[in-house]
Amino acid sequence: MVIKVFLASSSGSTAIKKKQQDVVGFLEALKVDYTQLDIACNEDNRMWMRQNVPEDRKPTNGIPLPPQIFNEESYCGDYDTFFDAKEDNSVYSFLGLPPPPGSKEAEKADKADIVENGTHAEETNTVGNLDDLIEVPVEERNGNTHREEEKLQQVADEEEEAQDGEEEEITEEETADKEETAEDETPMEEEEAVEEADEVTEYIAHAEEEEGQEEEDLQSEEEEEAEVQEDEEEDLEETQEEEAE
């Protein structure tokens, strides 16, 4: 099986160049045999790539951009699907190749086989016939797993109950604090209101007292003026009488 990577050697897009370098560099790091096919200098390669990319995998304009990856005639995917496979440690599956022993993807596949079939991949015979294997009962195979899951679920439930209890205690304490604060504030507000009322009453009384004093002063001034005027009139009459004599 030959992996084919369709590239554009003279692409003017920096993004496309970077994607091509990422794909080629990762394949070389994995020591995967592949062939580069240039669509910029070879029209046949361009036409073959466009014709063999599935319609549902083409962009809206219908023209797939490099890099595009094939295994012989089978389409593997573009850069985005290759990147997703790399992040998921499933590049060999993406390329349609068996993962090498000891790789993360091989370990992942072995674990999947254990979960699905109840046996390790290495336990299969050279012919690959699984009928010769002794099947382990599902109950026995998964008994420990179920018990562990039940324990974990029980622990999680206990932690959740404890957390709910703590939240309720905190809520009750906050409510009690708010009530105490409200009770403390109410007498203070009443005292302040009484003090304000006393100040207003005192101010009004003081103002009335000042008004009464002003009225008394004014009345005294009027009386003094009247007395002065009477004295002046008496002096005037005496002077007139003296002049007449």
Q: What is the pLDDT of residues 179-195, one digit of tens each?
A: 666 566 556 666 666 67
pLDDT higher than 90, residue 59: yes
The DSSP line for the chain is --EEEEE-TT---HHHHHHHHHHHHHHHHTT--EEEEESSS-HHHHHHHHHHS-GGGS-TTS-PPSPEEEETTEEEEEHHHHHHHHHTT-HHHHHT-PPPTTSHHHHHHHHHHHHHHSS-GGGS-TT--GGGSPPPPHHHHHHHHHHHHHHHHHHHHHHHHHHHHHHHHHHHHHHHHHHHHHHHHHHHHHHHHHHHHHHHHHHHHHHHHHHHHHHHHHHHHHHHHHHHHHHHHHHHHHHHHHHH-
Among 36-45, 68-77, 212-221, which stretch is predicted with the lowest mean pLDDT? Answer: 212-221
Give the separation between CA 18 and CA 20, rounded to whole angstroms: 5
Instruction: Give mean pLDDT, residues 47-74.
Output: 95
pLDDT higher than 70, residue 27: yes
pLDDT score, position 181: 63
| CA-derived radius of gyration, the chain | 52
pLDDT higher than 90, residue 54: yes
Nearest CA to 138 among 119, 118, 124?
A: 118
The upper half-sphere exposure of residue 141, i.e. CA atoms within 13 Å in the direction of its Cβ, equals 13
pLDDT higher than 60, residue 136: no
pLDDT higher than 60, residue 156: yes
Indicate the average pLDDT of the chain: 78
pLDDT higher than 90, residue 45: yes
Tokens of 53: 């990319």
pLDDT score, position 151: 72
pLDDT score, position 36: 96
pLDDT score, position 80: 96
pLDDT higher than 70, residue 57: yes
Instruction: Give mean pLDDT, residues 224-236.
Output: 73
pLDDT score, position 120: 52
pLDDT higher than 80, residue 196: no
Tokens 């910029």 correspond to: 40
Q: List residues bridging with 3 in a β-sheet.
A: 34, 71
Residue 10 burial class via C-beta count within 10 angstroms: exposed 0-12, middle 13-18, buried 19 and up: exposed
The tens digit of pLDDT for each residue in 67-113 reads: 999 999 999 999 999 999 999 999 999 999 999 988 888 888 777 76
Instruction: Give mean pLDDT, residues 114-138.
Output: 53
